[in-house]
Amino acid sequence: MDQTSNPWVVTAADVAAGPVTVWPLTGKVHIYQIEFEQYTNASDTATVNQANGKSFAFLHGAGDLQTVRTGNVGWADGIVVPQAGITATGTVRIYHK
């Protein structure tokens, strides 16, 4: 994963074998919005945690398979997408400051 890009992009394949640390617990990061897209079932989900393991965002697929967004979420102490944090298919885009 490229930490210099905006948004950060994590796919289901990226987290199939283990968690992906998007931003380490070395400082706070401001997250504008998190999007879940390219999933194939309305039951697909995506979980984004802070680096300390606390839940930060949970996105649930929509019946029309459109992009699901969190809206402005604010500051986080690191960002990690846990192992299997994106079910089966899908992409999480994390927009940051």
CB contact at 8 A, 3 and 94: no
In whole angstroms, give the CA distance from residue 54 to residue 33: 17
pLDDT tens readout for residues 10-26:
999 999 999 999 988 77
Tell me which CATH code domain 8-96 carries: 2.60.120
CA angle at 60 for the pair 59 and 64, rounded to the nearest 5°: 125
Average pLDDT over residues 3-9: 87
pLDDT above 80 (res 4): no
pLDDT tens readout for residues 50-90:
998 899 999 999 999 999 999 899 999 999 999 999 998 99
pLDDT, residue 24, reads 85
pLDDT tens readout for residues 26-37:
778 999 999 999
pTM: 0.92
pLDDT band of 91, cuts 50, 70, 90: very high
Domain ranges of the chain: 8-96
In whole angstroms, give the CA distance from residue 19 to residue 33: 20
